[in-house]
Chains A and B, each alone.
Chain A
Amino acid sequence: MSKTTITAPAGVPFVDMEREFVAPAALVHRAYLEPELVTQWLGPRKYEMVLDKWDARAGGQYRYVHRNADGEFAFHGVFHSMDMDNMVQTFEFEGVPGHVSLDQLVIEDLGGGRSRIRSHSVFQSVADRDAMVEAGMGDGVEDGYNRLDELLEKLGAPVGASR
């Protein structure tokens, strides 16, 4: 069961996400600020995560690359605010240059060593949202998804025929 709640309303170029963590907000904030920590979680498991730049302060830039034998996916942007209650950055997948999203992330402390992050991304258009998200995913999806692909492939012909 997924622990991440994602909402992508039809007709508006937004994506909202919510997720809770068993850690105080200050620690989650550190995991977003410190390059040594960022490299440990912001890359797909099957890819090498190269953190080119991660200058986590207002006006600072970031760039990272997911790389494996099949190729690489690079992303970059600018941090506008890194306050825990208003982390704002631009985000661009280099495979689709010129299409930029504006992401806001809020880290809330829930007390008792728990916290919640909420993010709101604004894309340039609905089409941009759907296309950019899909392009940016590349092959960098979890094992479960790849297994689903295999299953669908296996199911493909008979399912198509019966419906």
Chain B
Amino acid sequence: MSVDQLSTVFGALADPTRRAILARLAEGDLAVRDLAAPFPMSQPAISRHLKVLEGAGLISRSRRATARLSHLEAEPLREATTWLARYQAYWDERFDQLDELLAQLQRRPQPGAASTRTKAKKAKKARKKEGRTQR
């Protein structure tokens, strides 16, 4: 599985309703109306979730008589547990934190809440700078 596909699988799994749908399908194939029954949402809303799961290869759908049955595909889930998936999750979390930090730094270019150590360092740097300009 490529990293792009892996991202699609993780994206599909990021939603609690979709995880609940997968858990129900683990017990057997179901039609949309049966899948929708326990959720406080409409069949079209459930259908949209099924489309996402199908796009990620996590389920397949087949027509039996008038009902369209959803079937759990386990392989993408297995592959999502490889070391590469772990690596991706590990770095995604860190870079998301870096994202937040960078946004924060840009909102407040002169952080007033800096630690005393940072302030002391800054003061030292400022003194050094002054020294240089004087020379």
A residues lining the B interface (CB < 8 Å) = 1-8, 15, 17, 19, 21-23, 27-28, 30-31, 36-37, 40-45, 113, 130, 133-134, 137, 140-142, 144-145, 147-149, 151-152, 154-155, 158-160, 162-163
A23 to B23, CA, bound (A): 40
Task: Check A137/B86 contact, CB under 8 A, given A22-B102, A23-B105, A158-B26.
Answer: yes
Q: Which of B85, B86, B93, B102 contacts A28 (CB 8 A)?
A: B102
A31 to B95, CA, bound (A): 11
User: How distant is A159 from chain B, measured CB to nearest CB, in Å?
Assistant: 4
B residues lining the A interface (CB < 8 Å) = 3, 6-8, 10-11, 13-14, 19, 22-23, 26-27, 72, 74, 77, 80-81, 83-103, 105-106, 114-115, 117-118
Asked whether, in the complex, the Cβ of A158 is within 8 Å of the Cβ of B91, the reply is no
Set of chain A residues within 8 Å of B96, measured between Cβ atoms: 3
Set of chain A residues within 8 Å of B7, measured between Cβ atoms: 1-2
Asked whether, in the complex, the Cβ of A163 is within 8 Å of the Cβ of B102, the reply is no
A31 to B99, CA, bound (A): 10
Asked whether, in the complex, the Cβ of B90 is within 8 Å of the Cβ of A140, the reply is yes
A163 to B72, CA, bound (A): 10
Set of chain A residues within 8 Å of B93, measured between Cβ atoms: 44-45, 141-142
Task: Check A40/B90 contact, CB under 8 A, given A21-B102, A155-B26, A159-B77.
Answer: no
Q: Is the interface of B mostly helix, strand, loop or mixed?
A: helix
Report the nearest B residue to A23, measured CB to CB: B102
Asked whether, in the complex, the Cβ of B88 is within 8 Å of the Cβ of A40, the reply is no
Task: Check A148/B74 contact, CB under 8 A, given A45-B97, A142-B92.
Answer: no
Report the nearest B residue to A142, measured CB to CB: B93
Report the nearest B residue to A28, measured CB to CB: B102
Q: Which of A22, A44, A158 contacts B103 (CB 8 A)?
A: A22
Set of chain B residues within 8 Å of A19, measured between Cβ atoms: 91, 95
A8 to B86, CA, bound (A): 13
Asked whether, in the complex, the Cβ of A152 is within 8 Å of the Cβ of B92, the reply is no
Known: A134-B83, A147-B13. 4 other contacts (CB 8 A): A4-B95, A23-B102, A36-B114, A154-B26
Asked whether, in the complex, the Cβ of A36 is within 8 Å of the Cβ of B115, the reply is yes
Set of chain B residues within 8 Å of A27, measured between Cβ atoms: 102, 105-106
User: How distant is A112 from chain B, measured CB to nearest CB, in Å?
Assistant: 13
Task: Check A4/B77 contact, CB under 8 A, given A141-B93, A147-B19, A158-B26.
Answer: no
Asked whether, in the complex, the Cβ of A144 is within 8 Å of the Cβ of B74, the reply is no
Q: Which of B81, B88, B115 contacts A6 (CB 8 A)?
A: B88
A17 to B91, CA, bound (A): 9
Report the nearest B residue to A150, measured CB to CB: B19
Asked whether, in the complex, the Cβ of B118 is within 8 Å of the Cβ of A36, the reply is yes
Set of chain B residues within 8 Å of A22, measured between Cβ atoms: 99, 102-103
